[in-house]
Amino acid sequence: MVTIRDVEVILTAPAGSNLVVVKVHTSEPGLYGLGCATFTQRYLAVRAAVLEHLKPLVLGRDVDRIEDLWHTMMVNGYWRNGPVLNNAIAGLDIALWDIKGKRAGMPLYDLLGGRCRPAAAVYRHADGQDVKQVEDRVRAFAESGVGHIRVQMSGYGGAAIAPAVPEAVPPAAHATALYDPRRYTRSALAVLEHIRGVFGDRLEIIHDVHERLTPTLAVEFARECEKLRLFYLEDALAPEDLEWFARLRQVCTTPLAMGELFNHPREWTPLITGQQIDYLRMHLTQMGGLTPARKVTAMAELHGIRTAWHGPGDVSPVGHALNVHLDLASPNFGIQEFCGFPPAIYEAFPGAPEQRGGLLYVSDRPGLGVDLDEKQAARYPCNPGVVTWTQCRWPDGSPARP
């Protein structure tokens, strides 16, 4: 029997976002697994959860009993399904799947049933301070072979086109996170119409509301987007407003994607069984790792819903690899968000997924196929500063959801 000998947490930020990687060492010399546990805004809390609570629980346990360990970790603290704990559990869960693939001599997608496709189609994020900048960014992606592009302007919520700042607004919000929802929806529609007019139907266009609208305004905006034939509208509603998806579905045919803030099965289950969305886009570590994600994928397939897993810069290359392995093995894969990696990422994470044209490829080495150069990772320490972009304000200065 191969057992868990040690658990490490490596913190690094090669591309600027704070990343959390869990390394599980086994009783077999040289055999270890890597898992993503990245919760960028609370990375130190996740590290503490892994090292102070989960590590003592799992030491000496059989590495093959992944399902048993996942449930044990989830209920051992009694309270469950929160972002810190879920990410911590995911780090160990993913590392154990990596180990299982290495022991089997198989890439993870083969453990999941084998590939349905050779690579995963991606979408890239095109933003800019004005319509011309957005158009130029979209054109650059399109010319590189990317066929799905998320079109935004002036950041989420259109902060750069916000009204004058009230004197009472805290300084941190002045430069980064003041926005007016009505101005945002008008400007978003304008840039989306422009891009559709310039590029026609040869591009699939996505837009992310980022859960920043009230339900009634979100419904109005989604209906206005119908004429633009979006690939999907992302996170039109907040997790607190899930009941509104049924109403939105009744009055609007714009395809909907949802899920990046979800922690609990009661958040995604009714949307799947009620067929109220078209794409699931959870952050796989936020939901607890591969063990729950593969079950949700199968559940979504039965209800005609596709996957579009969360893939921004605050997912480690280990997490991105997990996304793609699941994409390759899932009949109901839809699209994969990808942020693009700078050279520093490939130096710290050899074997990280590679984009060629509009497709993302993973290594066919056993397990996840990604390794970690800890000396390179140590060159990029995390930033312990207070997060500013989440300090959003309405035009009157009151706090709002980011």
- C-alpha–C-alpha distance, residues 333 and 27, integer Å: 36
> Are 47 and 20 a contacting pair, CB within 8 Å?
yes
Which of the residues 123, 156, 179, 184 is marked catalytic?
A: 156
Residue among 148, 210, 283, 325 flagged as catalytic: 210
Q: Is 304 left (phi over 0), alpha (psi -120 to 50) or beta?
A: left
Residue 362: which of 98, 20, 104, 10 has the closest Cα?
A: 98
Strand partners, 62: 3
| Residues 6+ away with beta carbon under 8 Å from 230 | 192, 205, 206, 207, 254, 255
User: What is the Cα Rg of the chain in Å?
Assistant: 21
Burial 89-120 (b: 16+ CB within 10 A, else e): bbbbbbbbbbbbbbbeebbbbbbbeebeeebb
Strand partners, 94: none
43 is catalytic: no
Of the candidates 326, 333, 259, 257, which has an alpha carbon nearest to the alpha carbon of residue 289? Answer: 326
Has 156 been annotated as catalytic?
yes
Cα(332)–Cα(51) distance, rounded to whole angstroms?
Answer: 36
Other beta carbons within 10 angstroms of residue 78's beta carbon come to 5
Find the angle CA(344)-CA(97)-CA(109) to the nearest 5 degrees.
80
14: tokens are: 């090669």
Report the alpha-carbon distance of residue 199 to residue 206 in Å, rounded.
14
Q: Rounded to 10 degrees, what is the CA torsion of 194, 195, 199, 204?
A: -140
| Residues annotated catalytic, as ranges | 156, 210
